[in-house]
Amino acid sequence: MFASIILLLICIVFIVIQLKSRRPKNFPPGPPVWPILGNILDLSLENPLKDFERLRKTYGNVYSLFLGPKPVVVINEMKTIKEALVTKGVDFAGRPQDLLINDSSEREGLVMTDYGSSWKEQRRFALMNLRNFGMGKDSMEERIHGEIQYTVDTLEKSIGKSFSPQNMFHNAASNIICQVLFGKRFEYEDETIKTVVQCFTENAKIANGPWAMIYDSFPLIRSLPLPFRRAFKNVETCRKIAKSLMNEHKQTRVPGEPRDFVDCYLDRLDKPGDRSSFSEAQLTMYILDLHFAGTDTTSNTLLTGFLYLMNYPHVQERCQQEIDMVLEGKDQASSEDRNNMPYVQAVIHEFQRVANTVPLSIFHSTTKDTELNGYSIPKGTLIIPNLTSVLNEEGQWKFPNEFNPENFLNDQGEFVKPEAFMPFSAGPRMCLGEGLARMELFLFTVTLLRKFKFIWPEDAGEPDFTPVYGVTLTPKPYRMKVQLRVSQKIPH
């Protein structure tokens, strides 16, 4: 009996030592690693933010931890993140391929595709076609204005009442992507789009929730009927919808005369010869990727922006003065007006800085053995770029910890963009919707502020600016009140 206990203890000690030394040589420091479990016990599965804070304080800007057997490196602060994502861009341009999120997307699409020729081809195609979206009759800007009109109608119907703007902004952002993809918008009550949005919202929660962490840490349990199965089901539902929309398109398209992104892609498929990474299955996932990447991000940024505008009325008024002055006599704003609105530009950038919409970027992975800050990082290591640490980094901002448009203004009141402004991340994987997103943020903010005054309802209590944790940060649900501006005449 005694002997076997001793033996057992020796075994345990042996295993622990074995696994402790598993952190590769010269790997970034981090907490001791447990056998099998890795560091999963060091993290709160619901909201690990506090634990990360602690680890960073103890181990520095580049630290490591283990999800089960999987090594993860978290990188913080501008200099280090730029070094990794820009200077050593290619080394860090991969995407992890063995996570829940990979298995549910079957590696097609764009966002989670690993670095390689297929990703390059697909990304180049998207960039080119998003840039060219003057295609068809309406330019991108016209399409956005078209959608804003529905938002304006919604707001007009709500004048004097207090209401929740969540769905309004969500639907608007979703419809703008649908315009790009399918050349059409969906009514706000449309069941199809509601289903898609619901699946995605749910998956965004699952993807960094406790079950995903468990799935990612323990390959052995992956085939069990546990709650993460839900994520697969959701993707399947969306894929079916995307497929039927694609088929609809195939019926109505005229080859060579693309109306939208899907038409462009189908034209590309018609090209004879080697179509390389282009396929219908790829397109289906692509549609979902772009829709997902473009909806939650933009709408949460707008939601955050308006939350601050209501609570900083002097900022709102100063924007309105500038907007009235620059747009005097014009029907509507256009992107070029940005250059004449330094204050509004500063405010919108400040929205993005405080909204911190994608706090940990999308996870990267190393494409080869590499180095960072003197540490060795092997190929295939999961990399988490902590964008939050840049967006409020001490020393990079005049006012890192408050909402203040002065962060983007110089002494002459001109707009300046500090190097640490990277809500879209940086390097080869940087957000490819940046141009579109910035156009949306500008046109929405300016058009709505020109027409309406936004008021924090008297009975709403103190605002809570703490966001809800997720892949994308969301402001806590809030209500807003709107008034028509006095200086603003209602057209006809």
Residue 364: Cβ-neighbour burial (10 angstroms; 0-12, 13-18, 19+):
buried
- For the bound state, the minimum distance from the C-beta of residue 138 to ligand HEM, rounded and expressed in Å, comes to 17
Nearest to ligand HEM of 42, 440 (CB atom): 440
Report whether 264 belongs to an annotated binding site.
no
Residues numbered 356-395 forming contacts with ligand NAG, rule: CB under 6 A: 384, 386, 388-389
Element (H, E) at 451: helix 434-451
Q: Which of 62, 67, 346, 431 binds ligand HEM (CB under 6 A)?
A: 431
What amino acid occupies position 283? L
Residue 481: name the closest of 450, 455, 445 by CA.
Answer: 455
Taking residue 114's Cβ as centre, other Cβ atoms within 10 Å add up to 16
Nearest to ligand NAG of 74, 344 (CB atom): 74
Q: Which partner, ligand NAG, ligand HEM, none, binds residue 107 by CB below 5 to 8 Å per kind?
A: ligand NAG
Taking residue 24's Cβ as centre, other Cβ atoms within 10 Å add up to 15
Give the Cα separation of 379 and 377 in Å (integer).
7
Q: Which stretch binds ligand HEM (CB under 6 A): 62-70, 150-158, 228-236, 420-428?
A: 420-428
Residue 123: name the closest of 134, 109, 133 by CA.
Answer: 109
Question: Is 166 a binder of ligand NAG (CB under 6 A)?
Answer: no
Nearest to ligand HEM of 315, 439 (CB atom): 439
Query: Could you give the C-alpha distances from 328 to 146, 310, 320, 443, in angstroms and in order?
Result: 21, 24, 12, 16
Give the Cα separation of 202 and 379 in Å (integer).
31
Nearest to ligand NAG of 53, 464 (CB atom): 53
Nearest to ligand NAG of 356, 447 (CB atom): 356
Q: Which residues of 429-465 are buried (b: 16+ CB within 10 A; e: fewer)?
A: bebbbebbbbbbbbbbbbbbbbbbbbbbeeeeeeeee
Paired residues of 453 in beta bridges: 483
Q: Which partner, ligand NAG, ligand HEM, none, binds residue 294 by CB below 5 to 8 Å per kind?
A: ligand HEM
The size of the interface with ligand HEM (CB under 6 A), counted in residues, is 26
Q: Which of 425, 445, 447, 474 binds ligand HEM (CB under 6 A)?
A: 425
Contact 195, 239 (CB under 8 A): no
Q: Which of 64, 80, 171, 361 binds ligand HEM (CB under 6 A)?
A: 361
Give the Cα separation of 351 and 372 in Å (integer).
31
CA diameter of the chain: 94
Q: Which of 43, 55, 65, 110 binds ligand HEM (CB under 6 A)?
A: 110
Nearest to ligand NAG of 168, 382 (CB atom): 382
Question: Is 293 a binder of ligand HEM (CB under 6 A)?
Answer: yes
Give the Cα separation of 426 and 417 in Å (integer).
14
Q: Which of 31, 68, 258, 294 binds ligand HEM (CB under 6 A)?
A: 294
Q: Which of 424, 452, 456, 478 binds ligand HEM (CB under 6 A)?
A: 424
* 80-109 footprint of ligand NAG as x/- string (CB under 6 A): -----------------xx---xx--xx--
Task: List interacting residues with ligand HEM (CB under 6 A).
Answer: 110-111, 123, 130, 289-290, 293-294, 297-298, 301, 357-358, 361-362, 364, 423-425, 429-433, 436-437
Task: List interacting residues with ligand NAG (CB under 6 A).
Answer: 49, 52-53, 56, 74, 76, 97-98, 102-103, 106-107, 384, 386, 388-389
Which residues fall in the annotated binding site for heme? 431
